[in-house]
Amino acid sequence: MEHLTIGIASIGRSGLLRILSSLDEIDVPADLSVEILVADDDPAGGAVRLLSDRKGKLPVRVLSVGSRNIATARNACLDHARGIWMAFVDDDEIVARDWLVRLFAAMNEFRADVVVGPVYPVYPPETPDWLQRANPLYVDWGRRGALVDTGRSGNVLFRRDDARWSALRFDAALGRSGGEDTDFFHRLHCAGAVIVVTNDARIEEEAPAARLDRDYLRRRALRSGQSYARFRLGGAGRYRPRSLAFYALALGKAAAGFSLALALRPFDRGRSFALMQKGWLNVGKLRHFAALELPTMY
């Protein structure tokens, strides 16, 4: 029988109980044992207290980390995981019952080493219709079976027994700014891992009103663009032809995004805002050229 460890980095938010309850109800493929590993990243032990008297169907181990660094917390999960399979979810999510079965189906069908699934935001009822249509917190990774060169930790399954990448860990230098997961999975890709997307292993994520603030969304897009530029260009110098072409394209996309956003705003505010986000994303890539610090999210 093979073994899967599901890792969750948490600071003891109440959503941790919801994700654990949904994981207790998942369909588990035959000949697979599953355990959950919670890395308590709260120095005050918030997750430990929250789970002190919880009883569920799946076994849960809790690691006291307390670093307030999500990369360090996820590394603790990697260091204490058992078996060849690893999955990561976040503590503010809810998984569908067939989530795990569909991840493994894509893994087998496409002979992948890593499968990235979708995370659908659930917006508060009072969210304006135009903002829901803009869907600013959703990231579309592509069609089922599409090959990608990175991933994310909110919905992912991967094998950890390949010697080419089994020793790789999340970069703690990115654990407070963000981008640590796209950096990690890009390094797995560079080490030879085949990463594919599936669009049917569904996870939903609560979208607090604070994350719909315009300034938050702007900083989120800037950070995403800057993180993308960081791993896409790697160690290439800023003034090398490849880098200059990347930045020139980003500049053109930013200008086009902002221009179209302004033109469409009187007619379609949702589409306008989505284009504005793309403009900010490309400005984030240019921030990498300027060697600026990643925008803080808190």
pLDDT in the model for residue 14? 85
Instruction: Indicate whether 120 pLDDT > 80.
Output: yes
Inter-residue contact 251 to 279 (CB < 8 Å): no
Rounded distance, CA 120 to CA 124, Å? Answer: 13
Q: Quick one: average pLDDT of 196-215?
A: 94
Q: Quick one: average pLDDT of 67-71?
A: 93
Rounded distance, CA 167 to CA 161, Å? Answer: 9
Least confident stretch, 140-149, 226-235, 243-252: 226-235
pLDDT in the model for residue 298? 55
Rounded distance, CA 275 to CA 281, Å? Answer: 10
Least confident stretch, 43-57, 86-100, 251-265: 43-57
pLDDT band at 293, cuts 50/70/90?
confident
**pTM higher than 0.85, yes or no?**
yes
Q: What are phi and psi of 136, to 5 degrees?
A: -70, -15
For 81-102, how does the pLDDT look when each residue is reduced to its tens digit (9 = 90+)? 999 999 999 999 999 999 999 9
Inter-residue contact 84 to 3 (CB < 8 Å): yes
Q: What are phi and psi of 236, to 5 degrees?
A: -65, 135
Rounded distance, CA 92 to CA 114, Å? Answer: 22
Higher per-residue pLDDT: 37 or 297:
37
Q: What is the mean pLDDT of the chain?
A: 93
pLDDT band at 178, cuts 50/70/90?
confident
